A and B are shown apart, each in its own frame.
Chain A
């Protein structure tokens, strides 16, 4: 079956612009989580969506937002880009349950964002 698909793979944006990244989870998976990876901070959790609702949120400013559609596809948006937002953004999908029990998470190939 198809894996987790993230688009675009690479992106270059200018400071102050906004960007939208997309993630299509594995068919049947209802939980989508987003992570930011930078050399200095490592892999950090941004937020998780389950059944179109944000279920969990990491410690990031409000410029980082997301949403999930009825087909479980998710988008994340970063507004007013800063140089420090340059990172690899990874999306994970898992077969979560409404009770919060999560099994194995699978990651997409990531979107590498460069802010200049």
Chain B
């Protein structure tokens, strides 16, 4: 099956700093999503981005499907950005099945 690797596993930033989170995947995908897991466990949708680039406020994401990676950029980080960020992919003919990476735990210090 498809393997998903996220890096770095942990990241500590000062408030105001920028960061880049990476997601590598081992096969072609027709779905790629980025999530932020809040302290209560819910996965909050950040981006649905099987290819291309999208921006939403201080966050942006780019997926280069031909090279099998995606990047999540966080600019001017805030303490509320802390938490775990997950990348999840779906393969062709896999229906709704998502395969998750192990996540990047981000801690933003004031």
A residues in contact (CB < 8 Å) with B: 31-33, 35, 37, 42-45, 48, 50, 55-56, 58, 88, 90, 92, 94, 96, 100-110, 112
Contacts and interface: CB of A to CB of B under 8 A. Distances in A.
A110 B99 contact: no
A48 B90 CA distance: 13
B96 A96 contact: yes
A56 B94 contact: yes
B97 A48 contact: yes
Contacts of A105: 31, 33, 88, 96, 98
A42 B96 contact: no
A33 B101 CA distance: 17
Given A42-B100, A56-B97, A105-B88, 17 more contacts: A31-B96, A33-B98, A42-B101, A45-B99, A48-B96, A50-B95, A56-B95, A58-B97, A90-B43, A100-B94, A101-B30, A102-B31, A102-B90, A104-B48, A105-B98, A108-B42, A109-B41
A79 B30 CA distance: 34
